[in-house]
Structure 1
Amino acid sequence: MSKRISPPRLLLALAAALLCAGVSAASAQEQRAQNTRFANLASAFAPRHLADGRVTTAPTGYVRFCADHAHDCEAAGAGVAVMKLDTQRSAELDRINRIVNEAVQPETDLDHYGETERWAYPDDGRGDCEDYVLEKRRRLINLGWPSSVLLITVVRDREGDGHAVLTVMTDKGDLILDNQETDVRAWKDTGYRYVKRQSQVDPSTWVSLGETRVPPVVGTGR
């Protein structure tokens, strides 16, 4: 015969269970808050510029793109290390990032071309992350920005997926133009892990940025 629990004991058991659940939720919330504090602290002390590592392999999609657009893979403009970010240049970055993000409809390479990875200008109004980057880079070069400060960059996003952004090297630090963000951000404020990017000296050469697990496919649509 099963033993019945008296109402007072049942209430005490329920109260204890609720208390434990509350403590667990509070602990999880505190852990998340602590992680955020550590992330903010790390960002505050991070350098303004990413440090280039060793020469590494270029993404396959970029190599194929250069085979079709050789001129666009050559150095353009003065080979400066950083761009002075005055009011005009800052406005250009904001405008180009916003205009291209709004003009291009996100679509995976598989849906668009029937291929897992293909880099191309989004002239038909569709593309994935690297296509946004190519278009932003092209427009900024047409505005007089040198290619040495406009570096196509492969990262891992917050979910760990491969993603491409445009790094702009300025006297205010390395800034990121991203199709997933309306605002231009400092590299250290994106939450991304940086894999590799173009060399400033030669756009066809790529350098490592510290993350060794290179994603096989750069973008998945966004």
Structure 2
Amino acid sequence: MRAVRICVTAALPLMFVPTASALAAERSTPIRAAFLEEKAAALAPYAFVRFCVEAPEECTPKQGAENVRLSADVAVDIASINKSVNHGIAPRNDRRGRDIWTLSPRYGDCDDYAVTKRRKLVEAGLPARSVRLAIGRTPDGQGHAVVIVRTRNADLVLDSRSDAIKRVNEVDLVWIKMESADNPKWWYAL
């Protein structure tokens, strides 16, 4: 597999506003809601394996519920963390052949944004099992790491390319793999 790379674009305006009607729609969404479906076991990205060696506390088995109820407070936390990390890390790709995943760097690429968001979401109280890393491919063929928050009605995407929080079926990524809800060292093809 090619190394995960990012083409970070300028942050877009925050488009996820947790209104009463949005929360009601989330609760009443039909079964057709967007969820990523785990298939066969897959290898974790090599740079993620190295990340686990450097930050083993980020790669321990997870606790808590596998999904979260999207209350107004949770929606605000998700949107706030997505936006603050998107604006707090200056976009810069790793040097060719040197894909390194880092927590809260000054400069970074999509995987740095993703692991930072994952940590901040768990620190904010979201169950660790509901916050997962995923890898997709952008329309131009680039590998791209994002965070998925599994709610009761949909998987939500926190993407370094946008401040908008979207369901997995509303983004332009072709999904490749995602970490397990139980153990970050286990990954599944999508």
Contact 1:77–1:145 under 8 Å retained in 2: no
In the alignment, structure 1 residue 144 sits paired with structure 2 residue 125? yes
Matched, 1:103 2:88: yes
Pairs aligned (count): 161
User: Alpha-carbon deviation of 1:172?
Assistant: 2.7
Structure 1 position 46, deviation (Å): 5.8
Separation in structure 1 between the aligned mates of residue 80 and residue 114 of structure 2, nearest angstrom: 14
1:85 pairs with 2:70:
yes
Q: What secondary structure sits across from 1:109 in the alignment?
A: coil
Contact persistence 2:67–2:127 (CA under 8 A): no
Q: TM-score, with normalisation over the residues of structure 2?
A: 0.80
Could you tell me which of 169, 180, 199 is aligned with 2:180? 199
8 Å CA contact retained: 2:62, 2:183:
no
Q: Give 1:1-222 correspondences, 5 Å limit.
A: 47-78=33-64, 80-110=65-95, 115-123=97-105, 125-209=106-190
Aligned AA (1:73): C
Q: Partners of 2:177 and 2:132 in 1: how far apart? A: 10
Deviation >3 Å, runs of 4+? 44-47
- The letter for the 1-side match of 2:70 is L
Q: Which has the larger radius of gyration?
A: 1
- Greater fraction helix: 1
**CA contact under 8 A between 1:97 and 1:182: conserved in structure 2?**
yes
Q: Is the 8 A contact 1:197 1:208 kept in 2?
A: yes
Letter in 2 for 1:50: L
Q: Match of 2:21?
A: none
Instruction: Give, in whole Å, the separation in 2 of the partners of 1:121 and 1:94.
Output: 19
* Letter of the structure 2 residue corresponding to residue 118 of structure 1: I
Q: Which structure ranks higher in relative contact order (CA pairs < 8 Å, sequence separation ≥ 6)?
A: 2
Unaligned runs of 5+ in 2: 1-29
Shift of 1:121: 1.2
Call closer, same or farther: CA 1:192–1:186 in 2, change over 3 Å.
same
Query: Aligned equivalents of 2:146 and 2:34: distance in 1?
Result: 17
**Cα offsets for 1:22-77 (capped at 9, x unmatched):** xxxxxxxxxxxxxxxxxxxxxx9964211100111000000000001111111344
Amino acid at match of 1:117: D
